[in-house]
């Protein structure tokens, strides 16, 4: 038992020493490996530090080896006796009883022969075994420590670990030098280094310098490369510095030599520099016929060292004398001939001509056939769909040889389709193409993508293609179009305000010049120059207003061609156009031009200056009117814009609600962002009128109560949690709030319009009645002059009172014209002229010139009567406003909106339609909508007066709606049904558009009728009897019209006064 235990301890000690030796050996071998593989770094700059470090580490390890060698098992005696002795010496608990027990046990027979007592021997052995057994566990644990072996084992393991870490760090931090060193020392053939030498084999003249270049392609950046030149007398080596991994050497060879480059153990192929005896070769001509598709002329060379060609080029070669062999890298082309013709392949980079006494190497430079170039010159960005649904595209194409064709592709709902193919067959070209998108049935808010591709004419390798970037065309929603209209109105309003400031400055300058002219009796040069500038500023101002008018007119024409006709947008633009049209009347423009001509002809300058000032005062008045009308239009447009935005958000919220199973988080986030912007805009916008301010306050309170943004945020969170039932409930509530806000905005717009209209026409009626009273008063004054030409002393005072009353009423009419487009400022022009005439009447009274006074009073009365007549006309127009055609138009607009919504809903349905409960509910709702829509249009058409063309068109539309209603009831949902719905929608829009255009045309013609260019002799004919008859006929015509009862008294009184004259 003791012997076995001692042997185990011996094996343990020897194994520990073996581990010490093994770890040390691996450490030394690893360091030696690192030293050998990094040797090439000695001359590589900072990398040499790596080699120095590895060498130092290796030397240190060897020193450690020689210093600590006594701990290796090869230099120690570890016999069993020695181990037992070591145990007794190091473990006191054994009481040195192990040595005699081991000796007796090992030499038991020997001691027995020497007459030792067997009992004593057995007792000593037993005593030793008991001591060992008692301390065996302690000995096993502490033996290596007592002997110092454990410490040395740790030291060598630490050394091995450090060396291993150095090895791994070198491998991972400097993988490229590691790889290069490893392959260089162990597997040179796999070195990742390529050497590209130019010019390889070369024929040169004697005395001609040779420039040899080399390029190194390697993951490691070397500093030097060796050039080896082998001549007859020996070998020369040159160390070349690499710059950007390339080097060159220039030699003046005295004899032919071979050369190659070497880096580490990688050598380039061996090349030869030979002398060329040109006199031995009498002729060497090469003709290169390039492929036909390039359209390039043949290339001809004589004694070339290099030629240019393309794959599939036809090469014709002629020499004198015969060549022994013509070959390339891949094949032998011909032998023992003086000419050859062949097709060049793309793998052949040189031609080698071998003659009897020399060799010619001809390099082939391949001409590249580049990819064609194509780009969109316009539009080279994403755009919104223009109002006319037509997008002008301009393409530029270019190729080094020829562009064969170009194609434009569209992408709609992930389906790619060809838009247009263009045969080109030119080197470069510009294509203009007008893309009509009206047939693609795009819906508001949808997008279409497009790109173009060009193909060259490469018939050898096949046509190469290049594509442009993909661009997007977005169909803006009706709400976005209306927002643009509002922005346009805001721009025009700002411009008109600026023009008003300019006119005020002009008037101040005129006042100053006029004052100076009165004091000095003559204008200075600077004042004349300033006055000339005033005419120029007037011209610029008129041109600017004209430009604004043309811009609005062009936008209006484009918008009328839009497939989805929005009457709100059109009506606001029409109103904007009319404001600009009336801003500067034609007669004012003509007057300003006439004054400029008079000024340039040096006529009465004082009079010209006075008239110019009056014209600019009138211009200021018209611009002020335009400013107020634009402000009113802007206010109502802003409300309409908010209404449409709330409606659009309601529609988007409905789409989200219908697609909750798809988790439309991004769509709801967009709604939330749009709501935040809209609420911020409503809070920040400032109205000036009290009615609008009060409504805005009410609107803010409604929005605050409904917590729109918070609800949208809650919906987003519920969708993220996939709590769809709660999200649907919140969405339904939010939709209801958005719909209520939209309806409240619509109601306020209607009420404010009716309120303003009623207020204006009531005021107009009061002015008409007052003017009728003034007409009576002027007739009384006229009778007074006729009866008593001496007149009363207070006659002049009465005329003054009449004049003051006319001024007051004229100002009232002008104030009304600033509030409504219906009331033209020209309505007060007759009164203004009458006021000027009455101001001169006092002069004739003082001169007792009563005939002239009578003429003035007649003229004034006539102008008052004309104004009354035009007021009656306006009141009559107002009375027609609530009648059949307007009601029909409102019904038509409502029907168009509903049909547009239905078209969008049908277009979003999948085909074939899954007949689940949700889709059946949608279809049932559509059927009910169609039925109510058809009944509403039928009732409105009954109340409309007979319009043959309109009635027949509407009857056809109603019949189609009925068929559509039946098909939906039968669940007959096909693509053809959706197309029919689109057709009905467009027909409704066409009917509405035609009625609106006709109405605008009639209104414009009526406006021309209010120019009041009525000659006085028309109403005062010489034949008195005919006049009475004429008035009676006119009275009967007017009384037949549908006037409100409150106007009858005014009309009868007015004609009665005319008949009494």
Q: Is 761 exposed, middle or buried (0-12, 13-18, 19+ CB in 10 A)?
A: buried
**What's the CA gap between 475 and 437, in Å, rounded?**
10
pLDDT band, very low/low/confident/very high, at 1019 (cuts 50, 70, 90): very low
Q: Residue 77 has what pLDDT?
A: 56
CB crowding 908-924: b at 16 or more within 10 Å, else e: eeeeebeeeeeeeebbe
Q: In this predicted structure, which of 282-291, 446-455, 679-688, 1010-1019 has the lowest mean pLDDT? A: 1010-1019
Tokens, residue 823: 């009331």
CB contact burial 18-39 (16+ within 10 A = b; e otherwise)? ebbbebbeebbebbebbbbbbe
Task: Say if residue 473's pLDDT is above 50.
Answer: yes
Lowest mean pLDDT among 201-210, 726-735, 807-816, 1032-1041: 1032-1041
Identify the weakest region by mean pLDDT among 176-190, 486-500, 712-726: 176-190
Write down the pLDDT at residue 465: 93
Confidence of residue 1015 (pLDDT cuts 50, 70, 90): very low
Structure confidence at residue 915 as a pLDDT band (50, 70, 90):
low
Backbone angles phi, psi at 883, to 5 degrees: -85, -170
Determine contact, residues 674/649, Cβ cutoff 8 Å. yes
Residue recorded with tokens 């109002």: 387
Q: Where does residue 721 rank: exposed (0-12), middle (13-18), buried (19+ CB within 10 A)? A: exposed
Chain-centroid distance of CA 862 in Å reads 64
Beta strands at 224-231 and 234-241: parallel, antiparallel or unpaired:
antiparallel
Distance (Å) of CA 16 to CA 19, 77, 667: 5, 15, 73
The reported pLDDT for the residue numbered 75 is: 44
Residue that wins the pLDDT comparison between 958 and 1059: 958
Confidence at 903, pLDDT banded by 50, 70, 90? low
Which candidate, 872, 865, 874, places its Cα nearest to that of 1057?
865
Question: Per-residue pLDDT averaged across 233-239, rounded?
Answer: 86
Average pLDDT of 941-954? 67
Domains 193-275 and 384-474 equal at CATH topology level: yes
Please name the fold of domain 384-474. Answer: Immunoglobulin-like (2.60.40)
Tokens of 108: 């038991």
Contact criterion met (CB below 8 Å) for 317 and 307? no
Give how far Cα 555 sits from Cα of 477, 559, 576, 998, Å: 17, 6, 11, 19
Q: % helix / strand / coil in the chain, to the nearest 5?
A: 65, 15, 20
Confidence of residue 455 (pLDDT cuts 50, 70, 90): very high
* Domain positions in the chain: 2-179, 193-275, 278-366, 384-474, 478-639, 756-880+1015-1060, 882-1014
Q: What's the CA gap between 979 and 982, in Å, rounded?
A: 5
Q: Quick one: DSSP state of residue 910? A: -
Across the strands, what pairs with 354?
325, 359
With vertex at residue 640, the alpha carbon angle to CA 635 and CA 643, rounded to the nearest 5 degrees, is 130
Q: Which has more pLDDT, 219 or 3?
A: 219
What percent of the chain clears pLDDT 70, i.e. is strictly above it? Answer: 70
Measured between alpha carbons, how far is 879 from 886 in angstroms, rounded to an integer? 12
> Is 395 within 8 Å of 376 (Cβ atoms)?
yes
Angle between helices 2-37 and 48-67 (to 10 degrees): 150
Cα–Cα distances in angstroms (integers) from residue 965 to residues 696, 928, 938, 953, in the given order? 41, 9, 15, 19
CB 98 within 8 A of CB 84: yes
Task: Name the fold adopted by 882-1014.
Answer: 1.20.120
Tokens encoding 566: 């929005």
Confidence label for 991 from pLDDT (cuts 50, 70 and 90): confident
**DSSP classification of residue 243:** B
The single-letter DSSP state of residue 218 is: -
What is the average per-residue pLDDT within 210-215?
89
Q: Which two tokens stand for residue 468?
A: 């442009």
Please name the residues in contact with 109: beta carbons below 8 A apart, sequence gap of 6 or more. Answer: none
Furthest C-alpha separation in the chain? 194
Mean pLDDT across 876-895: 60
452 band by pLDDT with thresholds 50, 70 and 90: very high
Tokens for 1023? 């034949």
CA distance 731 to 719: 11
Structure tokens, 1014? 């009525």
Distance, in Å, from the CA atom of 843 to the CA atom of 799, rounded to the nearest integer, reads: 12
Query: Would you state the pLDDT for residue 576?
Result: 63
Q: Which of 643-647, 665-669, 947-951 has the lowest mean pLDDT?
A: 947-951
CA angle, 755 as apex, 750 and 757 as ends, to 5°? 95
**Backbone φ and ψ of 1015, nearest 5°:** -70, 140
Distance of CA 519 to the CA centre of its chain: 64
Q: Is the pLDDT of residue 199 over 80?
A: yes
Instruction: Tell me how many degrees the CA angle 81-84-86 measures, rounded to the nearest 5.
Output: 110
Across 283-301, average pLDDT: 89
Prediction pTM value: 0.49
Q: What is the pLDDT of residue 758?
A: 81
Backbone angles phi, psi at 196, to 5 degrees: -110, 115
Per-residue pLDDT averaged across 899-912, rounded? Answer: 67
Q: Is 706 exposed, middle or buried (0-12, 13-18, 19+ CB in 10 A)?
A: middle
348 within 8 A of 328, measured Cβ to Cβ: yes
Could you tell me how many helices (H) and strands (E) the chain has, helices first? Answer: 28, 23
Q: Tokens 């539309």 correspond to what residue?
A: 957
Give the end-to-end CA distance of the chain in Å, rounded to a whole number.
162
Dist CA 627 CA 635 (whole Å): 12
Spatial distance between the Cα atoms of 410 and 491, rounded to a whole number of angstroms: 35
Kindly report, residue by residue over 579-631, the tens digit of the pLDDT.
666 666 666 667 666 666 666 666 566 666 677 666 777 777 777 777 777 77
Q: How confident is the model at residue 95 (pLDDT cuts 50, 70, 90)?
A: low
Q: What is the pLDDT of residue 1022?
A: 41
Q: Shortest CA distance to 180 belongs to which of 73, 51, 10, 309? A: 51
In this structure, the strands spanning 471-474 and 383-384 are parallel
pLDDT of residue 288 exceeding 90, the answer is: yes
Q: How confident is the model at residue 879 (pLDDT cuts 50, 70, 90)?
A: low
Per-residue pLDDT for 227 more than 70?
yes
Instruction: Give, as one character, the DSSP assignment of residue 288.
Output: E
Answer whether CATH 2.60.40 is correct for domain 278-366. yes
* Alpha-carbon span 482 to 565, nearest angstrom: 11
Instruction: Using the predicted structure, report yes or no on whether residue 409 has a pLDDT greater than 90.
Output: yes
Q: Which residue has the higher pLDDT, 529 or 418?
A: 418
Give the start-end residues of each E strand in 515-657: none
CA atoms within 13 A on the CB side of 55: 11
Helix (H, G, I), strand (E, B) or coil at 708: helix
β-strand 266-267 against 257-263: which pairing, if any?
A: antiparallel
CATH number assigned to the domain with residue range 193-275, chosen from the 4 options 3.40.50.300, 3.20.20.70, 3.40.50.150, 2.60.40.10: 2.60.40.10
Handedness of CA 570, 573, 579, 583 (dihedral sign): negative
**Regarding predicted confidence, which is higher, 833 or 579?**
833
* Residue 772, pLDDT score: 78
pLDDT at 406 over 90: yes
CB 95 within 8 A of CB 130: no
- The whole-number average pLDDT for the span 430-439 is 87
Determine contact, residues 964/980, Cβ cutoff 8 Å: yes
Helix axes 850-880, 829-839, angle to 10 degrees: 160
**98 with 131: CB under 8 angstroms?**
yes
Sign of CA dihedral 746, 752, 758, 761: negative
How high is the mean pLDDT of the chain? 76
| Residue 1043 pLDDT | 52
Q: Running DSSP on this structure, what letter comes out for residue 270?
A: P
Between these two residues, 278 and 178, which has the higher pLDDT value? 178
In DSSP terms, 274 is beta-bridged to 203
- The string of DSSP codes covering 9-22 is HHHHHHHHHHHHHH
Q: Are 248 and 212 in contact (CB under 8 A)?
A: yes
Residue 701 has pLDDT above 70, yes or no: yes
Segment 318-359, tens digit of pLDDT: 998 888 888 888 888 888 888 999 998 888 888 988 887 678
Beta strand extents in 71-132 (DSSP E only): none
Give the tens place of pLDDT for each residue, 17-52: 778 778 777 877 787 777 777 766 666 656 667 767
- Paired residues of 472 in beta bridges: 449
Share of the chain above pLDDT 90, in %: 6
One CATH from 1.10.10, 1.10.3470, 1.20.120, 1.10.287 for 478-639: 1.20.120
DSSP 922-972: HHHHHHHHHHHHHHHHHHHHHTSPP-HHHHHHHHHHHHHHHHHHHHHHTT-
């Amino acid at each position: 038992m003791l012997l076995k235990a001692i042997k185990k301890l011996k094996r343990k000690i020897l194994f520990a020493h073996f581990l010490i030796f093994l770890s040390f050996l691996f450490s030394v071998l690893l360091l030696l490996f690192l030293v050998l593989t990094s040797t090439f770094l000695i001359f590589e700059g900072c990398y040499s530090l790596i080699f120095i470090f590895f060498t130092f580490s290796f030397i240190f390890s060897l020193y450690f080896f020689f210093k600590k060698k006594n701990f290796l098992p090869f230099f120690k005696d570890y016999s069993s006796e020695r181990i037992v002795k070591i145990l007794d010496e190091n473990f006191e608990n054994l009481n040195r009883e192990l040595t005699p027990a081991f000796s007796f046990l090992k030499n038991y027979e020997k001691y027995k022969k020497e007459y030792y007592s067997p009992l004593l021997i057995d007792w000593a052995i037993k005593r030793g075994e008991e001591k060992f057994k008692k301390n065996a566990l302690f000995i096993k644990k502490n033996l290596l420590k007592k002997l110092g072996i454990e410490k040395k084992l740790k030291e060598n393991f630490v050394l091995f670990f450090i060396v291993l870490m150095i090895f791994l760090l070198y491998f991972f931090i400097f993988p490229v030098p590691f790889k290069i060193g490893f392959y260089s020392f162990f597997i040179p053939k796999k070195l990742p280094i390529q050497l590209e030498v130019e010019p390889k084999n070369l024929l040169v003249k004697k005395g001609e310098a040779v420039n040899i270049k080399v390029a190194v392609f390697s993951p490691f950046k070397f500093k030097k490369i060796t050039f080896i030149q082998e001549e007859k007398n020996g070998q020369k080596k040159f160390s070349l510095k690499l710059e950007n991994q390339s080097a060159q050497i220039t030699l003046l060879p005295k004899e032919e030599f071979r050369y190659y480059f070497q880096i580490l153990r990688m050598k380039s192929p061996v090349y030869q520099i030979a002398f060329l005896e040109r006199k031995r070769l009498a002729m060497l001509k090469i003709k290169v016929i390039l492929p036909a598709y390039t359209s390039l002329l043949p290339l001809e060379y004589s004694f070339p060292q290099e030629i240019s060609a393309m794959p599939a080029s036809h090469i014709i070669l002629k020499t004198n004398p015969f060549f022994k062999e013509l070959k390339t890298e891949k094949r032998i082309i011909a032998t023992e001939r003086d000419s050859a013709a062949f097709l060049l392949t793309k793998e052949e980079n040189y031609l080698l001509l071998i003659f009897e006494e020399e060799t010619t190497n001809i390099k082939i430079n391949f001409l590249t056939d580049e990819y064609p170039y194509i780009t969109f010159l316009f539009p080279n960005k994403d755009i919104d769909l223009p109002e006319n649904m037509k997008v002008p595209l301009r393409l530029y194409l270019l190729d080094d040889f020829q562009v064969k064709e170009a194609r434009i592709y569209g992408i709609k709902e992930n389906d790619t389709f060809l838009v247009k193919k263009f045969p080109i067959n030119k080197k470069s070209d510009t294509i203009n193409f007008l893309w009509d998108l009206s047939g693609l049935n795009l819906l508001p808010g949808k997008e279409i993508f497009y790109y173009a591709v060009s193909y060259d004419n490469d018939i050898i390798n096949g046509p190469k293609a290049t594509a442009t970037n993909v661009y997007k065309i977005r169909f803006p929603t009706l709400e976005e179009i209306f927002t643009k209209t509002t922005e346009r109105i805001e721009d025009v309003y700002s411009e008109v305000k600026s023009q008003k400031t300019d006119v005020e400055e002009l008037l101040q300058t005129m006042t100053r010049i006029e004052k100076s002219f009165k004091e000095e009796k003559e204008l200075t040069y600077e004042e004349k120059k300033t006055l000339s500038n005033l005419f120029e500023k007037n011209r610029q101002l008129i041109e600017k207003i004209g430009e604004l008018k043309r811009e609005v007119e062009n936008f209006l024409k484009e918008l009328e061609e839009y497939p989805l006709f929005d009457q709100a947008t059109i009506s606001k633009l029409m109103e904007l156009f009319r404001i600009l049209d009336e801003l500067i009347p034609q007669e004012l423009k003509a007057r300003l031009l006439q004054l400029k001509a008079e000024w340039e002809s040096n006529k009465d300058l004082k009079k010209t200056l006075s008239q110019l000032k009056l014209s600019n005062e009138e211009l200021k008045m018209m611009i002020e009117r335009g400013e107020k009308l634009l402000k009113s239009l802007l206010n109502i447009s802003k409300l309409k814009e908010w209404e449409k935005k709330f409606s659009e958000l309601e529609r988007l919220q409905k789409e989200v609600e219908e697609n909750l199973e798809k988790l439309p988080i991004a769509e709801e986030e967009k709604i939330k962002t749009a709501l935040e912007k809209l609420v911020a805009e409503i809070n920040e916008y400032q109205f000036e009128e009290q009615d609008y301010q009060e409504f805005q306050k009410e609107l803010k309170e409604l929005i605050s109560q409904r917590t729109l943004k918070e609800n949208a945020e809650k919906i987003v969170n519920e969708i993220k949690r996939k709590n769809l039932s709660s999200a649907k409930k919140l969405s339904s509530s939010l939709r209801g709030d958005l719909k209520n806000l939209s309806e409240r905005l619509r109601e306020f717009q209607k009420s404010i319009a009716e309120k303003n209209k009623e207020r204006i026409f009531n005021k107009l009626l009061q002015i008409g009645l007052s003017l009728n009273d003034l007409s009576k008063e002027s007739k009384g004054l006229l009778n007074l002059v006729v009866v008593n030409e001496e007149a009363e002393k207070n006659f002049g005072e009465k005329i003054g009172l009449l004049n003051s009353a006319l001024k007051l009423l004229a100002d009232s009419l002008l104030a009304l014209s600033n509030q409504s487009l219906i009331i033209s400022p020209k309505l007060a022009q007759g009164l203004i002229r009458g006021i000027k005439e009455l101001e001169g009447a006092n002069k004739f009274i003082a001169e007792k010139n009563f005939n002239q006074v009578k003429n003035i009073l007649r003229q004034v009365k006539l102008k008052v009567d004309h104004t009354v007549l035009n007021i009656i006309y306006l009141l009559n127009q107002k009375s027609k406003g609530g009648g059949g055609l307007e009601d029909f138009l409102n019904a038509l607009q409502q029907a168009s909106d509903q049909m547009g919504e239905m078209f969008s809903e049908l277009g979003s349905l999948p085909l074939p339609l899954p007949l689940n409960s949700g889709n059946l509910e949608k279809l049932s709702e559509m059927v009910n909508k169609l039925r109510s829509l058809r009944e509403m249009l039928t009732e409105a058409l009954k109340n409309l007066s007979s319009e043959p063309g309109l009635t027949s068109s509407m009857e056809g539309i109603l019949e189609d709606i009925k068929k559509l209603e039946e098909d939906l009831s039968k669940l007959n949902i096909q693509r053809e049904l959706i197309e029919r719905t689109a057709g009905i929608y467009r027909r409704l829009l066409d009917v509405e558009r035609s009625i609106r255009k006709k109405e605008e045309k009639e209104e414009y013609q009526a406006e021309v009728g209010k120019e009041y260019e009525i000659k006085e002799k028309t109403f005062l004919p010489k034949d008195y009897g005919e006049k009475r008859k004429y008035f009676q006929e006119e009275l009967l015509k007017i009384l037949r019209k549908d006037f409100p009862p409150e106007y009858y008294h005014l009309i009868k009184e007015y004609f009665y006064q005319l008949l009494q004259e």
